[in-house]
Structure 1
Amino acid sequence: MADFIVSEIVDGDTFKVKNGWKWNDKEGDTVRPTGYNTPERWKPGYEQAKQRLEDLILDKKVDIKSAKIVDEWGRLVADVYYNGKNLADFFPEYKE
């Protein structure tokens, strides 16, 4: 797809991008990276995972590649790279 600037961290495995994305006649601003799954809001580790993602990519450029689908929550599910490394590799304990 392209490079995007991260504007907001929703949780440890979801974020928003500035100026949004367009893919297959759909558009939005929320992205769900593939390859890892962090704890949900009510589970231990949620805040730590969210903070790690924020420290890593907030206000920085990410490369979104190989979009898969737009899920039922309107998130673009895709492979995401930061500094040439798959975002999932930064969260080995949550890899799928």
Structure 2
Amino acid sequence: MATFRIESVINGNTFEVSPPWEFDGETGKLVQAIGYEAPKSGKGAIAAEQKLSILMQNKNVELESPQGIEGGRLLCEVYFQGINLADYFPAYKEHDDESIEELEE
């Protein structure tokens, strides 16, 4: 796709970009990175959001391989400095339900 600037971080794998993206006739600003699953609650969620904010706030990213739109969010691979964003979050790449619960505590 193209280069976008991260305007704000929503959670550990969702953020708002500028300019708006276009996909399948829709446009929007919310992006959810695929390839990792950040915790949704607890200390782990706060830590993931903070890490993403520190790493990415006001930085440019490449959005590639869009998978669709869910809840107004473009689901796609996100690359920062040529590296898949999921590689910055190795603890969240492969997991089972138990390990995610541990990360959320």
- TM-score normalised to structure 2 length: 0.86
The Cα offsets for residues 9-42 of structure 1, whole Å up to 9 and x where unpaired, read as: 00001000012111110110000011001111x3
What are structure 2's unaligned runs of at least 5 residues?
A: 95-105
> Which residue of structure 2 aligns with residue 44 of structure 1?
43
Q: Give the ranges of 4+ consecutive aligned residues of structure 1 lying more than 3 Å apart after TM superposition.
A: none
1:88 to 79, 86, 89: 86
SS in 2 for 1:22: strand
> Which residue of structure 2 aligns with residue 69 of structure 1?
68
Q: Structure 2 CA distance, aligned partners of 1:4 and 1:19?
A: 6
Aligned residues: 94
The Cα offsets for residues 38-78 of structure 1, whole Å up to 9 and x where unpaired, read as: 111x333111100000011110000001111001x110000
Larger radius of gyration: 2
- TM-score normalised to structure 1 length: 0.94
Residue identity over aligned pairs, in percent, reads: 38
What are structure 1's unaligned runs of at least 5 residues?
A: none
SS in 1 for 2:36: coil
2:32 is aligned with 1:32: yes
